[in-house]
A = this chain, B = another copy of it.
Amino acid sequence: MARAATTSDAFNAIAEPQRREILVLLRGGERPVTDLARNLGMTQPQASKHLRVLREVGLVRVRGAGKQRLYGLDARGLRPVHEWVGGFERFWSESFDRLDEYVQELKQARQEGPHDGDDQ
């Protein structure tokens, strides 16, 4: 097997930096393809391809406007991502080395009274 398709979920879709940039730009409102391409320094076909991926995972939606096609953000698909990552919030706010033991030691130390110096 190869890597999972970029269109398999939001996690894969936003793994690509350029697609993330597109999403950020779209936060400012709808934009036509060429506009996005120019702003991000990519070719029009590349932009279209990235937008296709984003559309397939539902992170953007399109709206025809004459010759143009206006792409707009639909961030709802990012919510699960945010929630999943958020599940780790309490772990990155901890001072980190040897977290598991550290936590245990802390609990004990508190019961036995302040007893410093164990690093290194």
Contacts and interface: CB of A to CB of B under 8 A. Distances in A.
Nearest to A24: B87
Contacts of A63: 98
A3 B3 contact: yes
Interface residues of A, number: 40
Interface in A70-86: 72-76, 78-79, 81-82, 84-86
Given A74-B96, A99-B73, A4 B16 contact: yes
Contacts of A29: 100, 103-104
Contact of A75 (B16, B75, B91): B91
Interface of A: 3-4, 6, 11-12, 14-17, 20, 23-24, 27-30, 63, 72-76, 78-79, 81-82, 84-89, 91-92, 96, 98-100, 103-104
Contacts of A86: 82
